[in-house]
Structure 1
Amino acid sequence: MKVQKVIVLSSTAAVDFNPNWPEDRLKDESCWSDKEFCKENEDWYSVAKILAEQASLEYAEKNGLNVVTLCPPLVFGPLLQPMVNTSSKFLIYVMKGGPDAMNNKLWHTVDVRDVADALLLVYEKAESSGRYICAPNNVCTKDLVNLLKEMFPKYSYVNNIIDVDRKAPITSQRLRDLGWEPRKLEETLTDSVECYEKAGLLQDSAGRPCRLPHLFRLAGDQ
């Protein structure tokens, strides 16, 4: 079919969960999540992302095809679809509070519009190749809550936050070097919350507590 380039949307789930990575070294595209570690923690989403991305890159090498993979983390921003995605459920939980404790771990976030820009960028740039991490913002739970409280003080917010050791942050420098210019976290949060408010997603449900999505209810910090 004379295909010259294929863009694969992966995830930082295939990058970030590596307990053997040095704590003082930024995680870049050379870092892969430990598949066995993810299996032990029953993190099947990450296992699936690891296998899928590795399979695409292996296919590319064997068949001489230029496959570029893009790895975004939690994706916030205005919603287009009628269903609330898991990343938005996480942010909604943080704002509405609930019964589940949260670790004061490091979260990586990106705006959905910046993911779209990154996809177009690696598609159009002739020199793009291999992996690209698409995670411009690193913020711990407490800092995220405090920032949201300053911007939107009327919500209850999660208050059961447990201090934990922090893992090494992720860098998106390789994608930035290609010309990617993502939004500031404050702009993403503002547009996300305003979208949720218009959709009625931050209103109290009929007596039912807001629960944290399963993917984020982890006993320890990975």
Structure 2
Amino acid sequence: MSTKSLGSRVCVTGASGYLASWLIKQLLLSGYHVVGTVRDLGKQKKVEHLWKLEGAKERLQLVQADLMEENSFDNAIMGCKGVFHIASPVLKHISDPKLEVVEPAVQGTLNVLHSCRKNPALVRVVLTSSSSTIRVREDLDPNIPLDESSWSSLELCEKLQAWYPMSKTQAERAAWEYCKENGIHLVTVLPSFIIGPSLPPDLCSTASDVLGLLKGETEKFQWHGRMGYVHIDDVALCHILLFENEASHGRYLCSSTVMDNDDLVALLATRYPSLPIPKRFQKLDRPHYDLNIGKLSSLGFKFKSVEEMFDDCIASLVEQGHLKFK
């Protein structure tokens, strides 16, 4: 248990989600008092897994809050020393991406930060951004790994109809501007593609994509071409480290390994020969890039391997009944 966490009250937005659930697990294990926000407290099945976590009965509180409602996070955030903003708007059927994906991501982030500004106890906000906010660029140099100084091109995002990178980029930029104007200490985490065990019973889109790949599907993974991968546990622990480290500042790339699709499936097929993992993907004209994780590594942070993250992910899929193999 961290001595820095004793008695500390922190808020995690989007508590029932894939990453937020795992972060809450690690925060409780570290001795924190956690206030988690959910859109609807009436949906008990979505939060049952949280109450099973060690320390939940003693130190977890769930509060209803909606990203699109101004002031709705006031009660959850007031009195908290730290806020981990992970929640993203939940969208299923999209007809106007800019209106339904980009704008809610920006406004939702600003609504959370409005509530943060009202809290005199606040020490730091840790915002979950994405490595997609740095790598959608036309001027990628394959010989120079991307670092936190890079920003994705909004023009290129629009041209490619890459609405997720656009929403994450605009939301993070808006957060930096707001926090600078209002004296809020902000740190952002830029994870690559998160792999690992899932606590919620319903799989998120990333876990569903991995499940599809393990069952022989290529459609959803096809567009990756080349992608960074990181264990969900590393992402959660990175959030906590950056909250606790007084010297943390700015943006932090959080990624273990960058791999081409074909290299990834070759590794997985060798490790899990009984699964119908695709042999290869259609070649895409995607730029080669690597990620410079020196900033986070300089804090002594060490990442788990690709083998570990997929082993843990597959074990979780089997345990939850989503995957069967000999």
Are the counterparts in 1 of residues 265 and 280 from structure 2 also a CA contact under 8 Å? no
Alpha-carbon distance change, 67 to 160 in structure 1, aligned in 2, over 3 angstroms: same
C-alpha distance in 1, partners of 2:292/2:260? 15
Alignment-derived partner of residue 125 in structure 1: 245
Q: Greater shift after overlay, 16-25 or 134-143?
A: 16-25
The answer as to 2:286 corresponding to 1:168 is no
**1:36 aligns with one of 130, 141, 155:** 155
Give, in angstroms, the shift of residue 154 of structure 1.
0.5
Q: Distance in 2 between matches of 1:185 and 1:172?
A: 16
From 76, 91, 98, the counterpart of 2:210: 91
Rounded to whole Å, the distance in 1 between the matches of 2:236 and 2:146 is: 22
- Residue 75 of structure 1 is matched in structure 2 by 194
Q: Following TM superposition, by how much is the alpha carbon of 1:2 offset from its aligned partner in structure 2, in angstroms? A: 4.2
1:181 aligns with 2:281: no
Asked whether the equivalents of residues 104 and 163 of structure 1 are also in contact (C-alpha less than 8 Å), the reply is no
Distance (Å, rounded) in 2 between the aligned partners of 1:98 and 1:104: 13
- Seen in structure 2, the aligned counterparts of structure 1 residues 80 and 99 have a Cα distance that, compared at 3 Å, is closer
| RMSD of Structure 2 on Structure 1 (CA) | 1.9
CA distance 1:51–1:103, shift in 2 (3 Å): closer
Residue of structure 2 aligned with 1:15, choices 109, 134, 146: 134
Please list, as runs of the form range in 1=range in 2, the aligned pairs for 1:53-64 lying within 5 A after superposition.
Answer: 53-64=172-183
Could you state the TM-score of these two structures normalised by the residue count of structure 2? 0.59
- Is the Cα–Cα contact under 8 Å of residues 212 and 218 in structure 2 kept in the other structure? no
Distance across 1 between alignment mates of 2:127 and 2:324: 36
SS in 1 for 2:313: helix
Q: For 1:4-38, what per-residue CA distance to the aligned partner results, in whole angstroms no more than 9, with x for missing partners?
A: 31111111121121122322210000111111111
* Distance in 2 of aligned mates of 1:74 and 1:86: 11
Q: Quick one: structure 1 residues 7 and 121, their matched pair in 2 at CA, closer, same or farther if it must change by over 3 Å?
A: same
CA–CA distance in 1 between the matches of 2:292 and 2:300? 15
Deviations 1:66-120, CA, capped at 9 Å, x for gaps = 2100011111111101111222122222211136383682211111110110000
Q: Which has the larger radius of gyration?
A: 2
Alpha-carbon distance in structure 2 between the residues aligned to 1:90 and 1:58 = 34
CA change 1:99–1:152 in 2 (3 A) is closer
Unpaired runs of at least 5, structure 2: 1-119
Please give the alpha-carbon distance, in whole angstroms, between the structure 1 residues aligned to 2:218 and 2:242: 41
Q: RCO greater where, 1 or 2, for CA within 8 Å and sep 6 or more?
A: 1
Count of residue correspondences = 204
Once the two structures are aligned, what percentage of the paired residues are identical? 26
SS at match of 2:125: strand
What secondary structure is seen at the aligned counterpart in 2 of 1:195? helix
Gap runs ≥5 in structure 1: 205-222
TM-score scaled by length of structure 1: 0.85
Q: Deviations over 1:151-195 (max 9, x none)?
A: 111111124512344421112111111221121111111111111
